[in-house]
A = this chain, B = another copy of it.
Amino acid sequence: MNAFDRAFRAMRSDLEVHLLSIFSVGVAFVCLVTAMLVVVNVQHVQDRWQHIGKLSVYLNANTAPERINDLDTALRATPGVSGVRYVPSEEARRELMSDHGDDTLAALPEQAFPASLEVDTQEALTFEAREQMAKQLQILPGVESVETYANWSAKLATVFSGGVTAAAVLTLIVLGAVVSVVSSTIRMALQKRHVEVEVLKLVGATDSYVRGPFIVEGAAQGALGAVVALSLVGALYSFVRGTFEAHLTALLGVNISFLPWTLSAGLLLGGAALGAGAAYLSLRRLLVV
C-alpha cells in the first residue's frame, strides 16, 4: 500500500471528522474566494475605465455652431483620436437621466447639462498623453472644461487597492484558519493513530513512510476545502448573476465574471500545498519515537 492508499483508508475510516474539517477549511476559503471575486471584477471595471479612453469636452453655453465645428475638425485631426461625437445639451440630460433614473437629477435645470464633444481616443494612448491632450483642449476658446475621467479612475483605483488590501488581509486570516484547521485535524489524527505510528516506526518504517499518508490527508483537506469554497461561491455567483446581471452590467459598465480558471486552479493547488505544509509542520514532533 502506498501513501495514497493508506491516506485514503484512514480518511474513509474517519470520514465524518475529515468531512467536518474539509467543511471548516471550505468556510475559511469562502471568505477568500469572495474577496478575490470582488477584486477580479473591480479590476475589470478599472481596466475598462482606464482603456476606454474617453474625453468629454464641455462647451460654453453660448458657443457658436461654427466654433463647435472647428473644434470637431481640430479634434479629429489630433493624433490618437479615433472618434468625436457632438452631444447637445438636451441629449446630455436625457442620457444622464436614462443612466441613473434619478429624480433629483430631473429637477436640475437644463443649464446643468452643457453641450459637449465626446472624444474617443485610441486604446494605446497612455493616461499621460490623454491628460496632456486635455490640457491643450482646455485653453481653446469655447471650451468650458475637459473631463478626462481621471477622477473616476483614481476613485476606482482607491476602491481597487482597498479591495486588494482587504483580500490580502483575508488571505492572511484564511491562511491562518486553514493551517489551524488542517493542523488540528492532523494532530488529532496523529493522536488517534499514535499506536499505528509507533508500531510502524518499531517495525522499521522510515520517517517519510510514516509521514506520507498524513501529508496526503492534509493536502486533500486543503484542496477539497478550496473546492467546497469555489463551489459554494460559484453557486452564489450564478444565482446573483442570474438575478441581477442586467443591473450589475448597467452599474459597472462590464459584465461580471467568475474567477478565471487559472486562479481557481491556483486556489486549489494553494489549498493542497497549504494543507500539506500544515500537516508536515504538525508532524515534525513525530520524528522522535
A248 to chain B, nearest CB (A): 14
- Whether A31 sits at the interface, judged by CB under 8 Å, is yes
Enumerate chain B residues within 8 angstroms of A83, measured Cβ to Cβ. none
- Whether A188 sits at the interface, judged by CB under 8 Å, is yes
- Whether A222 sits at the interface, judged by CB under 8 Å, is no
The reply to whether A180 and B24 contact each other, CB–CB distance below 8 Å, is yes
The reply to whether B58 and A107 contact each other, CB–CB distance below 8 Å, is yes
Enumerate chain B residues within 8 angstroms of A112, measured Cβ to Cβ. 108-109, 111-112
The reply to whether B104 and A151 contact each other, CB–CB distance below 8 Å, is yes
Best-buried of A174, A176, A185 by chain B (most CB within 10 Å): A185
Enumerate chain B residues within 8 angstroms of A61, measured Cβ to Cβ. 109
- Whether A181 sits at the interface, judged by CB under 8 Å, is yes
Enumerate chain B residues within 8 angstroms of A264, measured Cβ to Cβ. none
In Å, the complex CA distance between A79 and B181 comes to 63
- Whether A183 sits at the interface, judged by CB under 8 Å, is yes
A21-B184, A109-B112, A188-B191 provided; 4 other pairs, C-beta below 8 A? A14-B191, A16-B184, A104-B147, A191-B192
In Å, the complex CA distance between A108 and B113 comes to 7
The reply to whether B103 and A107 contact each other, CB–CB distance below 8 Å, is no
Best-buried of A17, A151, A176, A189 by chain B (most CB within 10 Å): A17
Known: A109-B111, A177-B23. A184 touches B187 (CB 8 A): no
Report A98-141 residues with CB < 8 Å from chain B CB: 102-104, 107-112, 114
In Å, the complex CA distance between A24 and B28 comes to 8
Known: A102-B151, A107-B114, A192-B191. A27 touches B177 (CB 8 A): yes
A231 to chain B, nearest CB (A): 13
Q: How many copies does the complex hold?
A: 2
- Whether A173 sits at the interface, judged by CB under 8 Å, is yes
- Whether A72 sits at the interface, judged by CB under 8 Å, is no
- Whether A97 sits at the interface, judged by CB under 8 Å, is no
Enumerate chain B residues within 8 angstroms of A177, measured Cβ to Cβ. 23-24, 27
For A11-28 the 0/1 string (1 means CB < 8 A from B) is: 000101100110110011
A103 to chain B, nearest CB (A): 6
Q: Which 8 A-B pairs have the closest CB atoms?
A: A112-B112, A188-B188, A20-B184, A111-B111, A27-B177, A20-B180, A191-B192, A109-B111
Enumerate chain B residues within 8 angstroms of A183, measured Cβ to Cβ. 20
Report A2-59 residues with CB < 8 Å from chain B CB: 14, 16-17, 20-21, 23-24, 27-28, 30-31, 58
A191 to chain B, nearest CB (A): 4
Enumerate chain B residues within 8 angstroms of A104, measured Cβ to Cβ. 147, 151
Enumerate chain B residues within 8 angstroms of A28, measured Cβ to Cβ. 24, 27
